[in-house]
Structure 1
């Protein structure tokens, strides 16, 4: 269950990271409220997952999911550049996330 919570926390991190763009410096009320709620929910789920997962693994996976997701969404939502090098390093990030899960020694 900890891994499920951690993945959801990572997806929420991705949401709030992208949400920051929509807040326009916290000047737009609705995007600001939604972003703050996503931050809180993401942190709470990370804390719950960290009860049974090693903190280094949990934090790295949480950040990795958020960073990977934000980068991919940036490509689709904000027309950020897609280069072979960028795709390669995003694939490495995904590989690292999967590797941390597989080597954590903690079952689903």
Structure 2
């Protein structure tokens, strides 16, 4: 299996609804994509080769897939709680940064 085929399988995994890569490789790639990847490897051997192509994959993602900044940024509004509400006054690590906030799940102390 070539490096480009391994990178293609790794990228396609993120565009599918599979949560487990082993399940994706064993039941989707080996069965449904057998005609696209004729020289398939065992799952264990694929994982060994996956580590070898990580640098090439990161270079590909850096060059081709990351978009340019247009000046417009979107921020995820998910709250990041720092500690339990009862321990707010004892927290020293994020004392100057974290604040109290309210989300759909209730009150929290964090970002």
Shared topology, TM-score over 0.5? no
Q: Between Structure 1 and Structure 2, which shows a larger proportion of strand residues?
A: 2
Q: Under a length normalisation based on structure 2, what TM-score does the superposition of the two structures give?
A: 0.28
Q: Under a length normalisation based on structure 1, what TM-score does the superposition of the two structures give?
A: 0.28
Structure whose alpha-carbon radius of gyration is higher: 2
